[in-house]
Amino acid sequence: MKKVFGKPKSLTKDPFTYCPGCHHGIAHRLVAEAVDEFGIREKTIGVCPVGCSVFAYVFFDCDMICAAHGRAPAVATGIKRAKPDSIVFTYQGDGDLASIGTAEIVHTANRGENITVIFINNAIYGMTGGQMAPTTLVGQVTQTSPYGRDAKTMGYPMKVAEMLAALKGVTYISRVALNKPANIIKAKKSIKKAFQIQLEGKGFSLVEILSTCPTNWGLSPIEANKWVEENMIPYYPLGELKTPEEVS
Amino acid sequence: MGEKMLMKGNEAIGEAAIRAGCYFYFGYPITPQSELTAYMSKKLPKIKNAAFIQAESEVAAINMVYGAAATGVRTMTSSSSPGISLKQEGISYIACAELPCVIVNMQRGGPGLGSIQPGQADYFQATKGGGHGDYHLIVLAPSSVQELVDLTMDAFDLADKYKNPAMILGDGLIGQMMESVEFKERKKIDLPDKEGWILTGCKGREKNYIVPFNLDPYEMEKLNFKIQDKYNELKEKEVRYETINLENADLIVVAYGTVARIVKTVIDNAKKEGINIGLIRPITLFPFPEKIIAETSEKVNKFLVAEMSLGQMVEDVKLAVNGKIEVNFYGRVGGVIPTQSEILTEIKKYLK
């Protein structure tokens, strides 16, 4: 019988330990599929962050390293400079990338490091139990914004992709979502494009993935997908923010 | 015989590192070590497949070292006191992940932004771990530009041998000073193969992963014990020190780095006055040369520890002596270098 669907080679046999309805599983799979389809598993090195996806090293079946909180882009820089022939990606949440690691992501992007960043934005800190992230929406209730995020004292949700797209050294930036099949198909294309850019030595690529955190949002998986559609996408519009054609 | 050159301490470290095969340097400017960063920025781009990055911060620099070290290459970062404080998080991760690398600290006066003159007040930070958790660096304390060169090269070997970060703990004086140095031919030594753990892509093998954590406390404890075993081995095999005039000494001075250099002149001056002073100069601050200090304290009952701090290494000397004799202390801080006459006056106080 012909096998029409299976687990990507770049994922291990370990079952995901993420919460029901969390998008990490889908995001992991899409990255693994992209790595498989380019046939680069044996030269790929992944950098996982601190946060829920610190366990990404368990699930990806390629060489992996865990960075300190927010430092994945610096670690990836060290790896890529030492082994320029390897394919290097970081996988970072919004607390990791948009808060504690802002300096590292901005400067890695600005240097145009030839790496790929997978940025999971679920508007909250997951691992530590649902605290406010820089990406938390205005009015959103979290453990540390119990009365809702007040922009006056807590600032507005940070649009990291737009910030990075403004840097001249950056090659590719896109924002995708995983809340419905059509978006997943688009996300896959975007992730592949990001890796393609690295493979061609064209420089820094980042895909921001709007994701769910049903557990800390206090929603069911289906409600969480809807929440992405109704609340996140209007503030964080999907699409390519910077593509190689625009690079002069 | 290798070639002789007149070099500034900071630049000599850079040259020694490159000759030791370190082609990946990540740094951030800070006085009094910036010449080292500048030297690497000049030399490394001329070497094939090498990389120099002026990082956005000390934090980023040490994490670039972490990434590069994970691929098995020799790599280094350098800074001075406040910058080294910023690196501590990364150093703790590197120690936990058991990756070899070299970190240079050309100390200046502290605390805070402190001063830009030499200091030795980072001794605790360097030798007791510095960051969070139970770990140590291999800490080498040069006392001349020649020793900076030799110890920098040794630091890479020791780091590789023990899969542990090594630190060159110098100070602004040695870094800024120019002396004649020789890059000696070095004997090739057997170092452990890195193939089993480095990240190079999993072609033809199972994946490798480097993970500085374990949520199972019993497994995490096991990792701690394994790392601790290395420190015990270091204490057994890698202790280094220099001694001068231990026989017939009326008093022993324990000092390292710049201060030990000053004490050597004090010894000569004291001799002219008929006073016999001995010196124990720790070269490895971790592992600390406690045995020679303990043995000497059986023979000479007057000890003075001199540092450019308000009393840090003196604690390790006291532990080694274990209460058998009194250990006295003299220190200047904040970037002030003790003079020969000050130290001699201090010595005389205890010889009355």
User: Could you report the per-residue pLDDT of B222-259, keeping only the tens digit for each?
Assistant: 999 999 999 999 999 999 999 999 998 999 999 999 99
Taking an 8 Å cut-off on Cβ atoms, the answer to whether A66 and B211 are in contact is yes
Residue B211 forms contact with A (CB below 8 Å): yes
Checking ipTM against 0.95, whether it exceeds it is: yes
pLDDT at B185: 87
Residue B272 forms contact with A (CB below 8 Å): no
Taking an 8 Å cut-off on Cβ atoms, the answer to whether B201 and A43 are in contact is yes
Kindly state whether residues B172 and B194 are assigned to the same domain.
Answer: yes
Of A74, A107, A111, the CB nearest to B67: A74
Taking an 8 Å cut-off on Cβ atoms, the answer to whether B56 and A103 are in contact is yes
Mutate to test the interface with B, among A53, A65, A104, A115 (most CBs of B within 10 A): A65
Kindly state whether residues B30 and B79 are assigned to the same domain.
Answer: yes
Kindly state whether residues B14 and B73 are assigned to the same domain.
Answer: yes
Kindly state whether residues B32 and B92 are assigned to the same domain.
Answer: yes
User: Could you report the per-residue pLDDT of B27-46, keeping only the tens digit for each?
Assistant: 999 999 999 999 999 999 99
% pLDDT > 70, chain B:
100
pLDDT at A2: 87
- CB-based contacts of A1, cutoff 8 Å, min separation 6: none
Distance from CA of B190 to the nearest CA of A (A): 23
Written as one string, the DSSP assignment of A15-74 is PP-SPTT-THHHHHHHHHHHHHHHT-GGGEEEEE-SSGGGGHHHHB-SEEEEPSTT-HHH
pLDDT at A246: 58
Which stretches in chain A have pLDDT values below 70? 246-248
- Asked if the structure places residue B159 within a domain, the reply is yes
Taking an 8 Å cut-off on Cβ atoms, the answer to whether B59 and A71 are in contact is yes
For chain A, the helix, strand and coil percentages under 3-state DSSP, each to the nearest 5: 40, 20, 40
Which of B137, B159, B1 is closest to B72 using CA atoms? B159
Q: How many domains does chain A have?
A: 1
- Asked if the structure places residue A99 within a domain, the reply is yes
Where is A77: in which H helix or E strand?
A: helix A72-82
Q: Which of B185, B213, B237 is the last residue of a domain?
A: B237
User: Could you report the per-residue pLDDT of B144-201, keeping only the tens digit for each?
Assistant: 999 999 999 999 999 999 999 999 999 999 999 999 999 998 988 999 999 999 999 9
Residue B99 forms contact with A (CB below 8 Å): no
Which of B98, B123, B99, B119 is closest to B110 using CA atoms? B119
Cα separation, A79 vs A46, in Å, equals 10
State the residue range of the domain holding B54: 4-201+224-237
Judged by average pLDDT, the poorest of A146-150, A243-247, B14-18, B89-93 is A243-247
- Asked if the structure places residue B143 within a domain, the reply is yes
Taking an 8 Å cut-off on Cβ atoms, the answer to whether A45 and B212 are in contact is no
Kindly state whether residues B69 and B193 are assigned to the same domain.
Answer: yes
Cα separation, A125 vs A94, in Å, equals 7
- Asked if the structure places residue B209 within a domain, the reply is no
- Asked if the structure places residue B215 within a domain, the reply is no
CATH of the domain at B299: 3.40.50.920
Residue B69 forms contact with A (CB below 8 Å): yes
Kindly state whether residues B82 and B231 are assigned to the same domain.
Answer: yes
- Asked if the structure places residue A163 within a domain, the reply is yes
- Asked if the structure places residue A5 within a domain, the reply is no
pLDDT at B1: 56
Taking an 8 Å cut-off on Cβ atoms, the answer to whether A67 and B63 are in contact is yes
- Asked if the structure places residue B211 within a domain, the reply is no
Kindly state whether residues B248 and B233 are assigned to the same domain.
Answer: no
Other Cβ atoms closer than 10 A to A58: 17
- Asked if the structure places residue A98 within a domain, the reply is yes
Confidence of residue B51 (pLDDT cuts 50, 70, 90): very high
- Asked if the structure places residue A4 within a domain, the reply is no
Kindly state whether residues B280 and B155 are assigned to the same domain.
Answer: no
- Asked if the structure places residue A41 within a domain, the reply is yes
Kindly state whether residues B24 and B172 are assigned to the same domain.
Answer: yes
Of A63, A78, A80, the CB nearest to B209: A63
- Asked if the structure places residue B208 within a domain, the reply is no
User: Could you report the per-residue pLDDT of A115-126, keeping only the tens digit for each?
Assistant: 999 999 999 999
State the residue range of the domain holding A105: 24-238
Kindly state whether residues B54 and B169 are assigned to the same domain.
Answer: yes
- Asked if the structure places residue A206 within a domain, the reply is yes
A49, A107, A165, B33, B63 from A70: Cα distances, Å = 7, 12, 19, 27, 10
Q: Which of B180, B213, B237 is the last residue of a domain?
A: B237
Kindly state whether residues B230 and B112 are assigned to the same domain.
Answer: yes
Chain B's closest residue to A40, CA to CA, is B201
Taking an 8 Å cut-off on Cβ atoms, the answer to whether B53 and A79 are in contact is no
Q: How many domains does chain B have?
A: 2
What is the average per-residue pLDDT within B206-232?
98
Chain B residues inside the 8 Å CB shell of A64: 199, 207-211
Cα separation, B39 vs B34, in Å, equals 9
pLDDT at A248: 46
pLDDT at A213: 98
- Asked if the structure places residue A18 within a domain, the reply is no
Tell me the whole-structure pTM to 2 decimals.
0.97
Whether B3 has a pLDDT exceeding 90, the answer reads no
Q: How many CB pairs under 8 A join A and B?
A: 130
Kindly state whether residues B183 and B56 are assigned to the same domain.
Answer: yes
User: Could you report the per-residue pLDDT of B278-332, keeping only the tens digit for each?
Assistant: 999 999 999 999 999 999 999 999 999 999 999 999 999 999 999 999 999 999 9
CATH of the domain at A162: 3.40.50.970
Taking an 8 Å cut-off on Cβ atoms, the answer to whether B202 and A74 are in contact is no
pLDDT at B78: 98
Interface of B with A in 189-208 (CB under 8 A): 199-204, 207-208
* Contact (CB, 8 A) for B61 and B26: yes
Distance from CA of A47 to the nearest CA of B (A): 9
pLDDT at A1: 82
